[in-house]
Amino acid sequence: MTGLRPDTGRQAGTMLIVFGVVLLVSSLVVSAALAPSVGAAGNDETPQTLVGSQGGGPGLHESGSVYLLDGKETKWKAAETDSYFDVTMLDNGSVATGFMDSGYEDCEPYESPCTHTGFRILEPTDDGGAEIVYEYSFPVRTRSNSEVHDVELLDSGEFLVSDMEYERIFTVKNGEVTWQWNASSMYDAPADPTTTDWLHINDVDALSEDRYLVSVRNANQLVVIERGEGVVEVINKDENGDGTGDPEVLLQQHNPQWLNNGSVLVADSHNDRIVELHRNNTTDEWEVAWAVYEAEGVPFSWPRDADRLANGNTLITDSLNQRVVEVNESGMTVWSYKTPYVPYEAERLPEGETVGATTYATNADATMYGNGDVPVLSLLLILFQTGIQVPFWFTELHVGVTLVSLAMTIAGTVLIVRDR
């Protein structure tokens, strides 16, 4: 019997490896060359925009910052913190922001050093930075899914805070908690909410001094809470008895904005869209009246904030595409900015996020297409995006090509080793 030449396996293996590498590199080069321009819309005359950046690195736990854009130029920036989240400019020019940072020694009941979360007041300085003039924080069990994402200053002098560690909202003044609402009063709670990412309460907005809009992310719901009354309204009610609202209406949303008593604007994050929900006065259900899924020719990827502006446009923080964009009612981009890391939230100054703003009617031009998730590949894409922050044009196609290239490289290596 005639056998194969001794170097056949080595040659075949080398060809597999080379073809796999060429396939991956060529797909990346072509996609980068053909990618649409992101962050180029508009000009430097746009009013100031305040940005809270969660940062980068594995899990988005590095290089967090808060910065003020004057047009598209950075006027000042506060950094050197693991992550910053929601940002609000106060009347005196200071900024209130939720944060998470590591390296604290005050850690009871956890071991030292540990991570703290809470909120800070930042004061811009003359050298283009900002200093921390006040901090309220407490230790958390882990760096992930335990953060304070939002804080607002009330007229009473209290700070209104959303807390994912204990799944509550609370007010604090002079370092002391003055009131709180625990989600366990409405939802079936685990024995200890600090041990699991149970509800992921990620936002609270004051509709009035004693009435608050709360985003309960993992339940796909928004709830309105009144001090002394508890929950008085639920948007996207649980109709199936599983403790969550309809995922086709909202899916793990962020940063809702109350437009009026019959409409709310929401970053519908895991449906990769921005939606305006209107209450159906006949059924009392909340329904999608307007939605936008892309800007600048690029589909949204995990958008986490949307603010209806005084000019009637919508400012959107498109986190995993690392950009902030402003679109009009038809979905056309009128301004955009490519951020250096993954942004969490942005506010257009001087108004910031307001209660009560222009509502849109149903607009077929803006509701262009729906979620294009691909089983398995879309989940892996999120891991690429949050782990190594791949560019915005890196899609499920590139994940698939990467897996094929990796399989070819492994198979080629096995052939080479066997032929030695």
Cα dist from 410 to 13, 192, 201, 211, 415, whole Å: 9, 44, 43, 58, 9
For residue 356, being part of any structural domain is answered with yes
Please, how many CA atoms are within 13 Å of residue 32, restricted to the half-sphere of its CB? Answer: 8
What value does the mean pLDDT take over residues 332-351?
96
Q: pLDDT for 112-130, tens place per residue?
A: 999 999 999 999 999 999 9
In angstroms, the CA 178 to CA 158 distance is: 8
pLDDT at 284: 86
Least confident of 162-166, 363-367, 383-387: 363-367
Counted domains in the chain: 1
The 3-state secondary structure of 94-133, one letter per residue: CEEEEEEEEEECCCCCCCCCEEEEEEEEEEECCCCCEEEE
Q: pLDDT for 126-149, tens place per residue?
A: 999 999 999 999 999 998 899 999
Q: 213 near 224, Cβ under 8 Å? A: yes
What is the pTM (predicted TM-score) of this model?
A: 0.91
How does residue 373 score in pLDDT terms, banded at 50, 70 and 90? confident
For residue 408, being part of any structural domain is answered with no
For residue 400, being part of any structural domain is answered with no
pLDDT at 363: 54
pLDDT at 387: 84
What value does the mean pLDDT take over residues 202-212?
96
Task: Classify the C-alpha dihedral 83-88-89-91 as positive or negative.
Answer: negative
Strand ranges, E, within 82-226: 83-89, 95-104, 114-124, 130-140, 150-153, 159-163, 168-173, 176-182, 201-208, 211-216, 221-226
How does residue 1 score in pLDDT terms, banded at 50, 70 and 90? very low
Least confident of 210-214, 237-241, 361-365: 361-365
| Cβ-Cβ contacts under 8 Å for 224 (sequence gap 6 or more) | 207, 211, 212, 213, 214, 231, 232, 233, 234, 235
pLDDT at 109: 93
- pLDDT for residue 366 is more than 80: no
Q: pLDDT for 39-74, tens place per residue?
A: 888 877 778 999 999 999 988 999 999 999 999 999
Domain membership of residue 289 as a residue range: 48-371
Helix (H) or strand (E) holding 272: none
pLDDT at 6: 63
pLDDT at 42: 85
pLDDT at 84: 98
Q: What percent of the chain has pLDDT over 90?
A: 76
For residue 348, being part of any structural domain is answered with yes
First and final C-alpha spacing in the chain: 21
Q: What percent of the chain has pLDDT over 70?
A: 95
How does residue 362 score in pLDDT terms, banded at 50, 70 and 90? low
- pLDDT for residue 233 is more than 50: yes
Question: Which amino acid type is present at position 398?
Answer: H
For residue 194, being part of any structural domain is answered with yes
In angstroms, the CA 43 to CA 293 distance is: 23
Q: pLDDT for 379-404, tens place per residue?
A: 888 888 888 889 888 989 999 999 99
- pLDDT for residue 364 is more than 60: no
- pLDDT for residue 223 is more than 90: yes
Long-range pairs, 406-410, Cβ under 8 A, ≥24: 406/20, 407/20, 408/16, 408/17, 408/19, 408/20, 408/23, 409/16, 409/17, 409/20, 409/21
pLDDT at 370: 56
Mean pLDDT of the chain: 92
For residue 333, being part of any structural domain is answered with yes
- 3-class SS at 278? strand
What value does the mean pLDDT take over residues 225-245?
94
For residue 345, being part of any structural domain is answered with yes
How does residue 106 score in pLDDT terms, banded at 50, 70 and 90? very high
Where residue 67 sits, what CATH number does that domain have?
A: 2.130.10.10
For residue 305, being part of any structural domain is answered with yes
